[in-house]
């Protein structure tokens, strides 16, 4: 019987189930954050940020070189990936209503679903094999390849969010297309694009798989692009799968630092976009 009572009961049950989904989703998050913070804080010290990793059995040491390496690799990735990613996005938004544009958009979409480990292999073939060594550059290339399709898609969407009328308004004022694109359309979408870049960078900084056999790892400081370079994520992985309990602790502390790094990038992006909305 489909009485009103029954219908209302169904309503409440479904609402309850959906609320339950929220609770379930929050359990791992809380657990994870709690552990990272509690176990990570335990090992945190100033030297952890600055020192080189200590060998097994020694106390102290840090992941200074890994932090620097992550920033270094990501910096290289940005230098390569941002211009191409944003540029391709502008192309898709401004000239992408053709067959070719459709194809490129489709490919960008598919590419953003390609597993990062696969991209690692590509960077390996592209940089490591010719250079005959693992290098920061290889890691940067891998991350850049990952960034380009996502950036292209989000840049396109952000530009498309700019009302078509705005473009027409500018054209109707007798402004040439290129100026309209740069000074009206891109200008309007700029805040959003900055946010997109920050979020993409945050994601790249958290990548591990493509770095495993591109930038590899390094126990020392390195500022050369053609040398293997440490990174926080790889370092965490190495610590985590090691059999030593104290390295496990360092894994947690490194994870905390990684989260802070990624989190602050994402937060900056959010703040930027919020200011834009206002």
Partner 1 sequence: MRPKVEVRSLNAWFKANHALRNVSLTVPANTVLAIIGPSGCGKTTFVRCLNRMHELVPGACQSGNVLVDGQDLHARRVDPVNLRRRVGMVFQRANPFPTMTIFDNVVAGLKLNGVRGDYPALVEKSLRQAALWDEVKDRLRQSAVSLSGGQQQRLCIARALAVDPEVLLMDEPASALDPIATARIEELIRGLRESLTIVIVTHNMQQAARVSDSTAFFYMGELIEHGPTEQIFTNPRESRTEDYVTGKFG
Partner 2 sequence: MQTASEIATAAREPERPPESAPARVNVPDRVWSGSLLLLGFAVLAVAAIIVAELVHIGGPAISHTGVLAFVRNSVWDVTRDVFGALPFIYGTLVTSAVALVLALPISVGLALFLTEMAPPSVRSIVSFPISLLAGIPSVVYGLWGLFVLVPLLRRPIEPLLAKTLGFLPLFQGPPIGLGYLAAGIVLAIMILPTITSIAIEVLQTVPGTLREAALALGATRWEAIRVSVLPYARAGIVGATMLGLGRALGETMAVTMVIGNSPSIRASLFAPGYSLPAVIANEFAEASGDLHTAALAALGLLLFAVTVALNVAARLLVRISRRGPTRVAA
How far is it, in rounded angstroms, from Cα 213 to Cα 211?
Answer: 6
Q: Judged by CB under 8 A, which stretch of 45-53, 160-168, 186-194, 231-239 contacts partner 2? A: 231-239
Q: Considering the complex, state which of residue 6 and residue 169 has its C-beta at the smaller distance from partner 2.
A: 6
Which of partner 2, partner 1, none has residue 188 at its interface (CB below 5 to 8 Å by kind)? partner 1
Query: Mind giving me the DSSP string for 191-241?
Result: HHHHHHHHHHHHHHHT--GGGTTTT---SS----TTS----HHHHHHHHHH
Burial 155-165 (b: 16+ CB within 10 A, else e): bbebbbebeee
By CB under 8 A, tell whether 4 contacts partner 1.
yes
Does residue number 14 form part of the binding site for partner 1 (CB under 8 A)? Answer: no
Binding mask 170-189 for partner 1 (x = CB under 8 A): xxxxxxx--xx--xx--xx-
CA distances (Å), origin 62, targets 44, 227, 231, 234, 263: 9, 20, 12, 14, 20
Binding of partner 1 by 7 (CB under 8 A): yes
Residues 142 to 181 in contact with partner 2, rule: CB under 8 A: 145, 148-149, 152, 176-178, 181
| Binding status of residue 37 toward partner 2 by CB under 8 A | no
Segment 98 to 117, residues that bind partner 2, using CB under 8 A: 100-101, 103-104, 106-111, 113-117
- Nearest-approach distance from CB 21 to partner 2, in angstroms: 3
Q: How far is the CB of 176 from partner 1 (least distance, A)?
A: 5
Asked whether position 155 contacts partner 1 by CB under 8 A, the answer is no
Rounded distance between C-alpha atoms, residue 249 and residue 240, angstroms: 9
Please give the Cα distance from 212 to 116 (Å, whole number): 11
| Closest C-alpha among 63, 56, 23 to residue 40 | 63
Applying CB under 8 A, what is the total number of residues that bind partner 2?
88
- Separation CA 184–CA 174 (nearest Å): 13
Min. distance of Cβ 261 from partner 2 in angstroms? Answer: 10
54 binds partner 2 (CB under 8 A): no
Backbone angles phi, psi at 57, to 5 degrees: 90, -25
Q: What is the smallest separation between the CB atom of 129 and partner 2, expressed in angstroms?
A: 8
Q: Does 274 bind partner 1 (CB under 8 A)?
A: no
For tokens 């979020």, the residue is 199
- Positions in 119-138 near partner 1 (CB under 8 A): none
CB neighbours (10 Å) of residue 19? 10
Q: Residues in the site for partner 1, rule: CB under 8 A?
A: 2, 4, 7-8, 97-98, 163, 165-166, 168-176, 179-180, 183-184, 187-188, 190
């Amino acid at each position: 019987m489909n009485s009103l009572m029954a219908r209302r009961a169904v309503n409440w049950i479904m609402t309850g189930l959906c609320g339950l989904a929220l609770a379930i989703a929050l359990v791992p998050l809380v657990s994870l954050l709690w552990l990272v913070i509690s176990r990570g804080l335990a090992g945190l010290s100033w030297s952890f940020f600055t020192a080189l990793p200590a060998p097994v059995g020694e106390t102290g040491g840090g992941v200074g070189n890994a932090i620097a390496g992550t920033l270094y690799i990501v910096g290289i990735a940005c230098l390569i990936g941002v211009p191409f990613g944003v540029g391709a996005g502008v192309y898709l938004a401004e000239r992408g209503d053709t067959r070719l544009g459709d194809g490129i958009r489709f490919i960008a979409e598919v590419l953003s679903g390609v597993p990062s480990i696969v991209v690692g292999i590509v960077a390996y073939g592209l940089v490591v094999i010719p250079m005959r060594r693992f290098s920061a550059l290889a890691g940067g290339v891998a991350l850049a390849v990952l960034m380009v399709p996502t950036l292209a898609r989000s840049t396109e969407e952000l530009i498309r969010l700019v009302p078509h009328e705005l473009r027409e308004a500018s054209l109707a004022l007798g402004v040439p297309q290129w100026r309209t694109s740069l000074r009206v359309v891109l200008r309007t979408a700029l805040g959003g694009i900055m946010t997109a870049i920050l979020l993409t960078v945050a994601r790249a900084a958290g990548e591990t798989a493509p770095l495993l056999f591109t930038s590899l790892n390094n126990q020392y400081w390195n500022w050369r692009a053609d040398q293997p370079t440490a990174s926080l994520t790889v370092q965490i992985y190495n610590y985590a799968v090691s059999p030593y309990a104290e390295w496990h602790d360092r894994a947690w502390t490194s994870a905390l630092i990684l989260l802070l790094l990624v989190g602050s990038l994402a937060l900056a992006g959010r703040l930027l976009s919020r200011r834009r909305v206002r």
